[in-house]
Amino acid sequence: EVQVVQSGPEVKKPGESLKISCRGSGYNFTNYWIGWVRQKPGKGLEWMGVIYPGDSDTRYSPSFQGQVTISADKSINTAYLQWSSLKASDSAMYYCARHGGPYKWFDPWGQGCLVTVSA
Amino acid sequence: QSALTQPPSASGSPGQSVTISCTGTNSDIGTFTHVSWYQQRPGKAPRLLIYEVNKRLSGVPDRFSGSKSGNTASLTVSGLQFEDEADYYCASYAGRNELGLLFGGGTTLTVL
């Protein structure tokens, strides 16, 4: 079964760093892009960026460029999303999903990782 | 780059058909076939229904269909069932790699 499984919920303080993960299984991890999507409470989906684990080619949405870093470790079939200094406005659900291409469909989706940033 | 435009809500009775629109520009939906549709039930992760405008993912009921005309893509749900009540999002390639992927604002479908 093809699936992506994300790390658990996080509670952090403003200014702290964070790295959340997304592990793919049931398919050749290096041959598919992995994308990240943000969803704030009660709001819609926002595309953040994607990475191709095979060569670490990474693309970012202009809205998230410089705000987050996407990376991957193909030796353990895992992609990451990280922040160096969190803000309260980063509080949201973050989804990863296998991408059919850098700007194509997402399937399957991870279960989501809830990040809460509060003093 | 603005998000794609969807109506905030749609509704129908069981057995009826409902169509949800997703309007972009001739730079994105109007030119490319990278249009996909997602269903998100409350408290759950989104789920892919339709990709490349009108291809149904394996396992998705054939009550769901996608189409495109000009700068507008559409998702039609035929034979509405109560389980179809959810949020629906469209997505499309923005037309330039540096802009990436665009999502619609989402449509809440209510089955009356």
Instruction: Name residue B111's beta-bridge partners.
Output: B12
Residue B8: predicted pLDDT:
96
Give me the pLDDT at residue B14, please. Answer: 97
> Across all residues in chain B, what is the average pLDDT?
94
What is the per-residue pLDDT across A41-75, written as a single tens digit (0 to 9) for each?
999 999 999 999 999 999 999 999 999 999 999 99
> Contact A68/A79 with Cβ under 8 angstroms?
no
What's the rounded mean pLDDT across residues A9-23?
98
Our measurement of the distance from residue A44's CA atom to the centroid of its chain's CA atoms, rounded to an integer in Å, reads: 16
CB-based burial label for B21 (10 Å; 0-12, 13-18, 19+): middle
pLDDT of residue B1: 52
Q: How many angstroms separate the CA atoms of B65 and B54, rounded?
A: 6
Q: What is the predicted pLDDT for the residue at B11?
A: 96
Q: What is the pLDDT of residues B53-97, one digit of tens each?
A: 999 999 999 999 999 999 999 999 999 999 999 999 999 998 888
Would you place residue B2 in the very low, low, confident or very high pLDDT band (cuts 50, 70, 90)?
Answer: low
Nearest CA in chain A to B8: A44
- pLDDT-based confidence at B98, cuts 50/70/90? confident
pLDDT in tens, A72-102: 999 999 999 999 999 999 999 999 999 988 8
Give the mutation candidate from B101, B102, B107 for the A interface (greatest A CB count, under 10 A): B101
B35 contacts chain A (CB < 8 A): no
Best A6, A64, A104, A111 member to test B by mutation, with max B CBs in 10 Å, is: A104
A106: which chain B residues are within 8 Å (Cβ-Cβ)?
Answer: 36, 38, 46, 48, 91
Q: Given CB atoms, is A12 within the 8 Å cutoff of chain B?
A: no
- The Cα A52–Cα B95 span in angstroms is 19
Length of chain B: 112
Element (H, E) at A46: strand A45-52
Cis check: omega of the bond before A108, within 30 degrees of 0: yes
Determine whether the interchain pair B57/A45 forms a contact, defined as Cβ–Cβ distance below 8 Å: no
Is A36 near chain B, with CB under 8 Å? no
